[in-house]
Structure formats: structure tokens, C-alpha cells
Amino acid sequence: MIENQDIRPAQVIGPLGEPLTLADLPSPGTKRWVVRRKAEVVAAVNGGLLSIDEVLERYSLSLEEFASWQRAVDRSGMQGLRVTRIQHYRDLYERQLKY
């Protein structure tokens, strides 16, 4: 019954191209979320290192907040996670959809 087993990779490729393990992830008590930390958590979920439920519980995040991180990375890469540029990248994405 392989489908019932929880098989996870020991490491995934991080946002900067380096190997990323559970030990490399931000600590569960993280309060200040810089771009690199957000991108590492998104890469961990995308690579199968952590599930979304584990991330939400471990970091006390809402599903909406984490989903916004994933969307930002998918649309604009790490730069999309920068709080000072959110509106710029949102407008850019909407223009791309329009035309």
C-alpha cells in the first residue's frame, strides 16, 4: 500500500537554487517575514518538504496569507513577495491578463 505512505524528499531546491532541508527553514516562532523566508516556505511546499496544513500550523499563518505568497512567487518570482512592490506587480499581472 504505497499510496498510504508519507514519502517526502530529504531536501528540495530552495528559491536561490541551493538545497533546502527542514533544518534550513525559518523557525516556527518567526515574526518578521522577509522575502527570502517567505520564498523558502513556498519552495518547501512546492517541493513536497512540507504540506500546506503543516505550514499553516507551524507558522500560524492563514490560508489566504500563504496562498498570496504562492501566487506572488508564481506570477513574479521572489520580487513579487516584496511588500513595497505588491501593487506594482499586481497591476503588471492584471495588464498582462487584459491584453
Global pTM exceeds 0.85? no
pLDDT (average), residues 17-27: 96
Of 9-13, 38-42, 91-95, where does mean pLDDT reach its minimum?
91-95
CATH architecture entry for 33-99: Orthogonal Bundle (1.10)
Give the C-alpha separation, 97 to 99, whole Å. 6
pLDDT tens, position by position, 48-90: 999 999 999 999 999 999 999 999 999 888 988 887 766 776 7
Give the C-alpha separation, 16 to 9, whole Å. 18
Instruction: Check residue 94 and give its pLDDT.
Output: 78
Q: pLDDT band at residue 38, thresholds of 50, 70 and 90? A: very high
Residue 29 has pLDDT above 70, yes or no: yes
Q: Which among 11, 9, 65, 6 has a CA at the least distance from the CA of 40?
A: 11
Give the C-alpha separation, 44 to 14, whole Å. 7
Domain positions in the chain: 33-99
